[in-house]
Amino acid sequence: MSGATRSPLSIVVHLSVLLLVALWTLPTAGLLISSLRDKDQLAVSGWWTALSTSTQNLVYRAPSPETQVERDGKFVVAGNVMEGQQAEVSAFGFNSREPAAFQPGETVQMNDGERLTVQADGTFEIVSDTRMEGTRGQRIFFTAAIPPRFTLDNYREVLRAEGIGQSFINSLTVAIPSTIIPILVAAFCAYALAWMRFPGRAILIAVVVGLLVVPLQMSLIPLLKLYNGVGAFLGVPAKTYVGIWLAHMGFGLPLAIYLLRNYMAGLPKEIMESARVDGASDFDIFVKIILPLSFPALASFAIFQFLWTWNDLLVAIVFLGTGNDELVLTGRLVNLLGSRGGNWEILTASAFITIIVPLIVFFALQRYLVRGLLAGSVKGG
């Protein structure tokens, strides 16, 4: 496009786009990185420090004197303050007022005649000339440089204990039928509005365009009453999967009809006319010619509808229950925000599980999504 010359202006363009991209991706990157971090590290340092070694002040309680062994006439309690983890001790101390008073390797005289040594790798020795008394172990304070630790523990925890796994299945249960069922219904209607002649067609198109923007809020209370009424009449629960599938279908139909009608109306007239001359009925034309040709528009709508039903919160909490077998991922996440507000290891992992499916759909089928957006918006919607 603009020549290969590197003018100062083009550098400014590159830099500003880079800045914008960073602004738009960093929040999500922070979430993903945090969800993979060790939960103790996540709670005390920012995700941008995830790769650097973190310095933490820690306390370790040595085993009680009862575990002492006699060696060369001295009594020794030994072990490792890191308890098996990899880290480097940079300072240590034996009381809380001076937790970092000594360098690793030093041997320190403690108040009661015992001597403490802590090495850089965390091994320590408490040595005493006489038998040590008491049942409580000595507290050892130390400052350690802990290398970054990444783990899938957070994901394991939320999938099992926090009910995210169940909600994942619930979300799939809501989203898949809600995406597939309206397609056929909308396609027939769109064909009629695009290519069949009947009185009132223009008005119906106008109604569909109008319904595109009707706020969902208008439907909530009347439909809730209707569902309660139908449930009581038939003796079934008012909040069921079938109910939410139909609700999602109803709310998705205006966009589906509008997208598909625009697309079908743009197909060449000659194809249909020659088929009609050959004696094909409207039904044949639709099933054998229009439906296959409309695949790109059907795919666009399917992606929209899937993203919308998967990401929806409002319809799900109004028309589907909040029990364990019904709560969808978005609903579960809102609950966790309330109950586990400070536990970022749980929130970040749960949020990432919630957004991973739409992100996969997005990256795999972006072409159709863009096409659908353009068809739905540039042309007047």
Site string for another protein, 292-321 (x = CB under 8 A): ---------------x--xxxxx---x---
- Of residues 91 and 355, the one with the C-beta less far from another protein: 355
Q: How many residues bind another protein (CB under 8 A)?
A: 120
Between 55 and 119, CB nearer to another protein: 55
Q: Residue 170 interacts with another protein (CB under 8 A)? A: yes
Write out the binding residues for another protein, residues 5-44 only, by CB under 8 A: 9-10, 13-14, 16-17, 20-21, 24-28, 30-31, 34, 42-44
Closer Cβ to another protein, 77 or 353, answer by number: 353
Q: What's the CA angle centered on 119, arms 114 and 120, to 5 degrees?
A: 150
Residues of this chain, 192-211, that bind another protein according to CB under 8 A: 192-193, 196-198, 201-202, 204-211
* Shortest distance, position 238 Cβ to another protein, whole Å: 13
Q: How far is the CB of 7 from another protein (least distance, A)?
A: 11
Question: Which one, of 146, 129, 133, 153, lies nearest residue 85 by Cα?
Answer: 146
- Establish if 53 lies at the interface with another protein (CB under 8 A): no
Nearer to another protein by Cβ, of 61 and 367: the residue is 367
144's enclosing H/E stretch is strand 139-146
Does residue 289 belong to the site contacting another protein (CB under 8 A)? no
- The string of DSSP codes covering 315-337 is HHHHHS--STTT--HHHHHHHHH
Contact 259, 194 (CB under 8 A): no
User: Exactly one of 177, 255, 290, 345 binds another protein (CB under 8 A); which one?
Assistant: 177
Q: How many angstroms separate the CA atoms of 305 and 380, rounded? A: 20
Q: Does 3 bind another protein (CB under 8 A)?
A: no
Q: Among 45, 64, 80, 119, which residue interacts with another protein (rule: CB under 8 A)? A: 45
- Residues 112-142 as b or e (16 or more Cβ within 10 Å = b): eebebbbeeebebbbbbeeebeeeebbebbb
Q: In angstroms, give the least distance from the CB of 89 to another protein.
A: 20
Residue 111 is a binding residue for another protein (CB under 8 A): no
Q: Cβ 72 to another protein, closest distance in Å?
A: 45
Burial class (CB in 10 A: 0-12, 13-18, 19+), 281: exposed
Among 188, 289, 293, 321, which residue sits at the site for another protein (rule: CB under 8 A)?
188
Query: Which of the ranges 86-94, 120-128, 143-151, 362-370 carries the binding residues for another protein, by CB under 8 A?
Result: 362-370
Based on the shown chain and the rule CB under 8 A, indicate whether residue 339 belongs to the binding site for another protein: no
Q: How far apart are CA 155 and CA 125, in angstroms?
A: 38
Of 180, 267, 280, 289, the one binding another protein by CB under 8 A: 180
Closest by CA position to 286, among listed 163, 191, 156, 354: 191
Q: Show Cβ contacts of residue 259 under 8 Å, excluding neighbours closer than 6 positions.
A: 190, 297, 300, 301, 304, 372, 375, 376
Among 257, 298, 302, 327, binds another protein (CB under 8 A): 257
Q: In whole angstroms, give the CA distance from residue 239 to residue 200.
A: 36
Structure tokens at 233: 């009449």
**Selected binder of another protein within 88, 282, 291, 293 (CB under 8 A):** 282
Between CA 381 and CA 369 the distance in angstroms is 16
Rule CB under 8 A: is residue 118 a binding residue for another protein?
no
Q: Does 176 bind another protein (CB under 8 A)?
A: yes
Q: How far is CA 220 from CA 134, 244, 334, in A?
A: 68, 12, 20
Indicate which single residue of 100, 152, 271, 374 sits in contact with another protein (rule: CB under 8 A).
Answer: 374
Rounded to an integer, what distance in angstroms lies between the CA atom of residue 220 and that of residue 333?
22
